Structure 1
Amino acid sequence: MIDAQGNNLIFLLCAPRSGSSLATVMLQNHSKVFATQEMWYLMSLYDLKNNPLRPYGGMGIIKQFYNAIVPNEVFEQACRSFSLQIYNGLLQGSGADLVVDKSPRYYYILEFLDKLFPQSKRIWLIRNPFSILSSYKKVYADSHEGFNLADELYNPQFNIKMTDLTAGMFRYYDYFSESHPLAYRLFYEQMVSKPEEEMHKLCTFLGISYEQGIEKYGNPVNSVKSDMFYSMGVGDPLLANHTEPHLNSIHNWKEVLQKNEVEMYGRVLGARLFHQLGYSEQLAEAEKWVGVKFDDEPDQELLQLRTTQLAEVTGCKWQAKYRMQSEKAGIQTEPDVIHNASVDSQVFQLQTTLRALEMRLENSYLEQKRLRKQLDTIRNKVNLVKSLIPFGHRITHWASDHLIHRRRKP
């Protein structure tokens, strides 16, 4: 069972295309672990407070309700209760004790994860960034989505894949930058080269005994769990081509990527990231191939652009350089929340009213800014038209004179 602190819950976190589907399919082959390919639903809960377009309208009302009327602690408690129903519901009838939630884009809600389930265990799956880029290109280049790094990396338009490869990478890098008893670093290259050994160590971290052969996912221990895993139809579409880990994808970035792609991505990430993740050798190989020495620092301007874009599109707010929280959060049970609210209902109501008024004031300010911008745009158009009027008059006189002269000719 998953409890309110997050015990027995595991988050598998990494940049997309890092090999998380492979790690998950081996873990779910353990009799005590339940995992599907990807869930992502915690992002949907988090987004209740934001302002997405809904077919039934009421965007302003919904935003006002969740951000002004409902206190943060009540909202978090409600999300926690719902999540526990989901996670524990998945465990029913499976015989498993642990749930793995593998959702690579949870870099979007790391602060939210820490608040909801502070005692959950978190696995950081790390892979050579050039291999991650190679996997993106291999999977998406020939699909309807397409993938062209040269066109998309610096394109000012929002692109979630470019956010994955830039801001998302550094979000996880910062989050796991300090050692933590509930965090585990799993390296893709070691996982595929020594799968049995790595599964042994990972099981120890999770507090379960290693079961022989779990890394050979082509021979599932529990066919029901395995069928559910593959039924999701998401994650790595190439996973089903093999029955156990292989080494084919460790070095193929040199065959898949072009020199200009390696140079562009190396400049964006900076050399320090490769060194601190343990990929100095791969970085040196890339620098020798493209003939460029990468700066230590990443392209901060591009990282900030992608972070700002995601915030504008989603309404999310990140803490800069956010790290996994070390302290054990005090999680209240649902009756405690109700009791505390009733202890001083007057203060509660006044605080709620204050938040509502602050939201209305903020919305009013934003509306004024929007109207001012619209007014400035119209004024500029008016001034442009006015500036063209004298020229228009000259054209009119010229045309009139021309016609008069033509009529006078015999």
Structure 2
Amino acid sequence: MTAFSQKNLIFLISQPRAGSTLTQRILGTHREIYTLSEPWIMLHPLYAMRRDGYQAEYSIQNSKRAMDNFLNLHPEGEDAYFQAVRQMNLHLYEGLLQTSGKRYFLDKTPRYYYIVPELYRTFPEAKYILLLRNPLAILCSIFNTFIQDNWWRIQYYQGDLLRAPSLIAKGMLDLQNNSLVLQYENLLLNPEIEIERVCNFLNVPFDAGIISYGDSEAEKWQFGDRSMIYQENKPMNQNGDRWQENLQNPIIWQSANNYLEFLGKDLLANLGYSYTKLKEILEKQKPKTQVILPPALQDFFASANMFLDKSLQPVQGVVGLTAQLFDSYLSLGRVLLQENHIEQALKYLEIALQMAPFVPETQCLIGEALLRIGKLDRAITYYQKAIQLGAKIHQNQLESSRIALQQALQLNPNHQAIAELLAII
């Protein structure tokens, strides 16, 4: 086995739901390529060189200032940091590769689209595969897999939908000498041709047998596609157009139409897709009546254009943190409510509500907290708002709400609004 270096590294970069797990499974079946789930290990050290886009218990602003001062005094400047990151992570990659007996390590982590410039600076001799998929198909897959009819969850995919396409398009320009562009649709249509092209790019022998990835024994991964990928054993051409079935839902159709306009002709063309053809697909399935999007989706698309404004680039990292912070405040409020610390719970839940006003669980938790301190009319308002949002409420939260409402009704048997709510939920 030859000495391990960055030339033994392969990075597969894409949006989530772009077919990266399928591609990874195929390539990982090759006798010379080893891979596993999604390492994510390059994000932490490379984000340390940024001023925003992440959160920590310590001050990230002071951390960046201190690091800048340290590296300004270092004889090799910033290069010293990237060299150190390179050595550290080569050691980590090599440790896993040695157990496999293979020559190349494939790191597939979709959120690497955030760090393509820094990743290339760290590993300029590595190989990069940029996997593309029709963005409308990605949107539909995110709806179908992650959001379903809990429309507020779209806030968690701002980066994947609003930032990733332009960042990947830029990566195609920056990495063109060290990269290969692979389209998911072409992989499904002509898997032998496309995988042979990938193997030639990687300088490994082409083996048609790896396309039937499901014929080999492989463990199930924690990250990536954990459903369809295990039900099939090779790329299936019919999956290429399956996303269009989701357009029968008027809300998803309207969202896809809004997303198409957000992306625009130029960005789609840079990604290798035709605005005109995608518009034709949408027009064929256009709903007969006007669609009014749920509030959470209205808010999402109303704020989407800020991601096209380069002058707002510094703000985007802060916006991207909102979903993470919301989760933290919601979780704190939920735990404090369970421990019966009502006033403290309300403080955190109200902050969560300000960050994401269209999440029914937040409304229910605030309603439950207000019930416990006897503020019945205000509690009813929050419960009614949760129902108006028209999204599913988690079963555990429903049960908790029923118990709280039943207790309130026992104390106030003539309160008609509570009785009506109990009948609804």
Distance 2:268 2:189 in 1: 20
The correspondence for 1:255, drawn from 245, 252, 267, is 245
**Structure in which a larger fraction of residues adopt helix:** 2
**Match of 1:367?**
none
1:85 positional shift: 0.2
The correspondence for 1:286, drawn from 257, 268, 281, is 281
**Match of 1:266?**
260
- TM-score normalised according to structure 1 size: 0.64
Distance 1:72 1:50 in 2: 12
Distance 2:10 2:129 in 1: 7
Distance 2:146 2:48 in 1: 30
Give deviations 1:208-239, integer Å, cap 9, x for gaps: 1012310111111xx4xx32xx2x31101221
**Match of 1:77?**
83
- TM-score normalised according to structure 2 size: 0.62
Alignment check: 8 A CA contact 1:34 1:99 kept:
yes
Alignment check: 8 A CA contact 1:192 1:247 kept:
yes
1:213 partner SS: helix
2:284 partner SS: helix
**Match of 1:303?**
308
Question: Unaligned 5+ residue runs, structure 2?
Answer: 72-76, 288-303, 322-425
Letter in 2 for 1:236: D
Quote the sequence identity (%).
27
2:218 maps to 1:234: no
1:42 positional shift: 0.3
Judging changes above 3 Å, is the alpha-carbon distance between structure 1 residues 262 and 50 closer, same or farther for their aligned structure 2 residues? Answer: closer
Distance 1:194 1:74 in 2: 44
Alignment check: 8 A CA contact 1:122 1:183 kept:
yes
1:178 positional shift: 7.0
Judging changes above 3 Å, is the alpha-carbon distance between structure 1 residues 275 and 58 closer, same or farther for their aligned structure 2 residues? Answer: closer
**Match of 2:125?**
119
**Match of 1:176?**
172
2:37 partner SS: coil
Alignment check: 8 A CA contact 1:136 1:147 kept:
no
Judging changes above 3 Å, is the alpha-carbon distance between structure 1 residues 178 and 282 closer, same or farther for their aligned structure 2 residues? Answer: farther
Letter in 1 for 2:39: M
1:54 positional shift: 4.5
**Match of 1:129?**
135
**Match of 1:217?**
213
1:3 positional shift: 5.5
What is the 5 A alignment of 1:5-404? 6-49=6-49, 54=56, 57=58, 62-70=63-71, 71-142=77-148, 148=151, 159-177=155-173, 180-220=176-216, 223=217, 226-227=218-219, 230=220, 232-238=221-227, 239-257=229-247, 258-280=252-274, 282-289=277-284, 301-304=306-309, 307-312=313-318
Give deviations 1:152-180, integer Å, cap 9, x for gaps: 77xxxxx4412211211111112214782
1:17 partner SS: coil
1:32 positional shift: 0.1
1:187 positional shift: 1.0
Alignment check: 8 A CA contact 1:20 1:102 kept:
yes
Alignment check: 8 A CA contact 1:31 1:95 kept:
no
Alignment check: 8 A CA contact 1:33 1:96 kept:
yes
Give deviations 1:215-273, integer Å, cap 9, x for gaps: 111111xx4xx32xx2x311012211211111343112221133211211111101233
1:59 positional shift: 5.6
Indicate the larger mover: 175-184 or 109-118.
175-184
Alignment check: 8 A CA contact 1:152 1:162 kept:
no
1:135 positional shift: 1.0
Distance 2:50 2:278 in 1: 40
Give deviations 1:346-397, integer Å, cap 9, x for gaps: xxxxxxxxxxxxxxxxxxxxxxxxxxxxxxxxxxxxxxxxxxxxxxxxxxxx
Distance 1:172 1:59 in 2: 26
Letter in 1 for 2:241: H
Distance 2:258 2:320 in 1: 27
Alignment check: 8 A CA contact 1:34 1:96 kept:
yes
1:74 positional shift: 2.1
Higher-Rg member (1/2): 1
Alignment check: 8 A CA contact 2:38 2:108 kept:
yes
**Match of 2:385?**
none
